[in-house]
């Protein structure tokens, strides 16, 4: 019975070992041929040649007889395991299975010839030990190769996912960049429109200079600054004489052209920093900062003279007009509204005294202003 069981064990283990060694080899090679995966790079082919050559040379010394009666250096079959690990980690499962098959072929060939590396033992035990050795080699080779294959697949999937994520990030960044540029353009357009609206809200549409609203806002800021800096300011009120008759005789369009032609004589005699505004009809205000009253009177006179000497174009040819001006000095206590009122009082005095002249506000002027201005 024991002999039968021993033979059955030997037979069963031998068949199972054959399946363990040959099945991965046949399956992987059939898979490679089916999907045309048999191509090998030149560098890999050279490495594989080196691997198998070294393994065969080592095996030819490690799988032969060991004579314990002789004193010499002897190799053991375990030295073939590094070649198995090399094949499993550097190549695919087909190469790892082929490496195991080569080792099995060498070990079986030597064993059939009665050659084995084991010490004095019966042939039956030599077969069992060779089977155990080949089983260990096969498990290490196929198992490690399968593990490395799974790790490579995981790495490839990770690289693919990383590449996909990188592409999606680039697409997202491009969309964000396009959206940002779109928002910047929209913001620039909105800023431009706001600037235009602000300019329209603060500019007289007929003459292009500041309007009443802008004059009051800027004038209040200037007075606040001058009060803090102990500065000086003078306001000039200007009104064109008999302007209504121009509208009546030549039409409102001609009157508008005359208003526009009044601007150069004024701008040529004031500084760019001075505030010049049309506050209604044919009336203008000029806010001068950091000047003496006498200087402002001279400026007003030059403006009046230049207006009187300018040929104004109308449909029938050219005409000349005159202007009346009132000058009021800021006393560093009154507000802008009071200052404008004082300049208007001086202007009304110029109107009453014959027009085409400049008058200066004084307390006597205010006390004597008991009537509205005469015809314009």
Q: Is residue 195 pLDDT above 90, yes or no?
A: no
* The pLDDT value given to residue 67: 54
The CATH number of residue 358's host domain is 3.30.70.270
* The pLDDT value given to residue 74: 52
The more confident residue out of 158 and 126 is 158
**H or E stretch at 203:** none
Question: Measured on CA atoms in the order 325, 330, 333, 337, is the torsion positive or negative?
Answer: positive
Q: Is residue 271 pLDDT above 80, yes or no?
A: yes
* The pLDDT value given to residue 371: 43
* The pLDDT value given to residue 216: 94
Task: Give me the domain span that covers residue 158.
Answer: 2-166
* The pLDDT value given to residue 54: 92
* Domains of the chain: total: 2
Same domain, 10 and 140: yes
* The pLDDT value given to residue 375: 40
pLDDT tens column, 201-256:
788 989 999 999 999 999 999 999 999 999 999 999 999 999 999 999 999 999 99
Pick the closest to residue 341 from 326, 352, 351, 319 (CA basis). Answer: 326
Burial of 144 from C-beta contacts in 10 A (0-12 / 13-18 / 19+): middle
282, 292, 293, 364: which is the annotated catalytic residue? 282
Query: Which of 117, 143, 166 is a domain's end point?
Result: 166
Active-site residue flag, 217: no
Helix 123-202 and helix 81-90: axis angle, to 10°? 30
Is residue 23 assigned to a domain? yes
Residue 256 and residue 348 in contact, taking contact as beta carbons nearer than 8 Å: no
pLDDT tens column, 302-334:
999 999 999 999 988 999 999 999 999 999 889
Q: Is residue 161 pLDDT above 60, yes or no?
A: yes
Pick the closest to residue 303 from 275, 265, 329, 359 (CA basis). Answer: 265
* The pLDDT value given to residue 376: 47
Same domain, 161 and 12: yes
Q: Is residue 7 pLDDT above 80, yes or no?
A: no
CA distance 67 to 267: 123
pTM of the model: 0.53
pLDDT tens column, 36-88:
655 667 788 898 899 999 999 988 888 876 554 554 445 678 889 999 999 99
Residue 344 and residue 230 in contact, taking contact as beta carbons nearer than 8 Å: no
pLDDT tens column, 14-35:
788 888 888 888 888 887 777 6
* The pLDDT value given to residue 2: 57
Same domain, 209 and 78: no
Is residue 334 assigned to a domain? yes
Query: Which of 117, 151, 166 is a domain's end point?
Result: 166
pLDDT tens column, 144-153:
988 998 998 9
pLDDT tens column, 345-362:
999 999 999 999 999 998
* The pLDDT value given to residue 373: 45
Same domain, 150 and 213: no
CA distances from 264 to 209, 259, 296, 307, 358 (A): 12, 10, 18, 9, 19
């Amino acid at each position: 019975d024991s002999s039968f069981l021993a033979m059955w064990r030997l037979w069963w283990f031998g068949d199972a070992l054959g399946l363990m060694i040959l099945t991965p080899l046949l399956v992987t090679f059939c898979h490679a041929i089916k999907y045309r995966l048999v191509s090998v790079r030149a560098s890999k082919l050279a490495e594989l040649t080196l691997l198998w050559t070294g393994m065969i040379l080592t095996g030819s010394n490690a799988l032969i007889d060991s004579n314990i009666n002789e004193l010499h250096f002897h190799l053991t079959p375990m030295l073939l395991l590094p070649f198995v690990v090399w094949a499993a980690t550097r190549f695919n499962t087909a190469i790892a299975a082929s490496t195991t098959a080569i080792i099995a072929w060498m070990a079986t060939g030597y064993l059939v010839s009665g050659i084995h590396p084991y010490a004095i033992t019966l042939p039956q035990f030599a077969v069992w030990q060779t089977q155990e050795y080949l089983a260990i080699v096969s498990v290490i080779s196929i198992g490690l190769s399968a593990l490395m294959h799974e790790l490579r697949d995981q790495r490839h999937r990770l690289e693919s996912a990383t590449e996909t994520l990188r592409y999606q990030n680039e697409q997202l960044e491009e969309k964000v960049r396009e959206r940002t540029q779109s928002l910047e353009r929209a913001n620039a357009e909105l800023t431009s429109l706001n600037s235009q609206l602000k300019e329209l809200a603060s500019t007289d549409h007929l003459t292009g200079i500041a309007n009443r609203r802008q004059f009051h806002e800027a004038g209040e800021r200037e007075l606040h600054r001058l009060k803090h800096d102990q500065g000086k300011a003078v306001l000039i009120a200007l009104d064109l004489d008999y302007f209504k008759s121009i509208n009546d005789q030549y039409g409102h369009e001609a009157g508008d052209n005359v208003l526009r032609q009044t601007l150069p004589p004024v701008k040529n005699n004031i500084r760019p920093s001075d505030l010049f505004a049309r506050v209604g009809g044919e009336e203008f205000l000029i806010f001068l900062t950091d000047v003496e009253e006498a200087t402002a009177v001279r400026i007003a006179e030059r403006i009046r003279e230049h207006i009187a000497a300018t040929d104004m174009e109308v449909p029938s040819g050219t005409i000349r007009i005159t202007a009346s001006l009132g000058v009021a000095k800021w006393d560093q206590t009154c507000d802008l509204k009071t200052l404008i009122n004082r300049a208007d009082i001086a202007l009304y005095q110029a109107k009453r005294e014959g027009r085409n002249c400049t008058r200066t506000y004084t307390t006597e002027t205010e006390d004597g202003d008991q009537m509205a201005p005469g015809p314009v």
